[in-house]
Amino acid sequence: MLLYAHMDPETQKMLRESLELARENNTLLRRMRSAQQRAHIFRIIYWVIILGVTFGAYYMIQPYINDVFGYYNTLTTFGKSSAEGNSSMPDLNQVQDLIKQLQNQ
């Protein structure tokens, strides 16, 4: 308060207002920073959930995808054997095995 004693009243008033505004700004900036940190944490949680659901869904449907690729490979094997001229028709045992695989699914 010793500094205030030598100042005129208008300067003291301006200094007090400046101090009050600085404190108010500090409070607002702290709130903005904490809101920014919360938003960052929620953004990380959001992407973890999105990626978790994506990989979880892939894990759940992976057996079905593998079955489809297995059937595709079996059919391409039939096509290759007939294209090479080994036989015009696939072997009866191969067809029966394919039918059994489809029935078991």
Query: pLDDT for 23-61, tens place per residue?
Result: 999 999 999 999 999 999 999 999 999 999 999 999 999
pLDDT of residue 82: 55
In a domain, 73, yes or no: yes
- 25: containing domain: 8-104
| Element counts in the chain: helices (H) and strands (E) | 3, 0
Coil/strand/helix, residue 88: coil
pLDDT at residue number 8? 87
Query: Do 67 and 101 touch, CB atoms closer than 8 A?
Result: no
Number of domains in the chain: 1
Q: Please indicate, yes or no, if residue 2 is contained in any of the structural domains.
A: no
22 band by pLDDT with thresholds 50, 70 and 90:
very high
Which pairs from 38-46 meet CB under 8 Å and 24+ separation? Answer: none
What secondary structure letter does DSSP report for 85? Answer: T
Residue 1, pLDDT above cutoff 90: no
In a domain, 3, yes or no: no
Decide which of 34 and 99 is more confident.
34
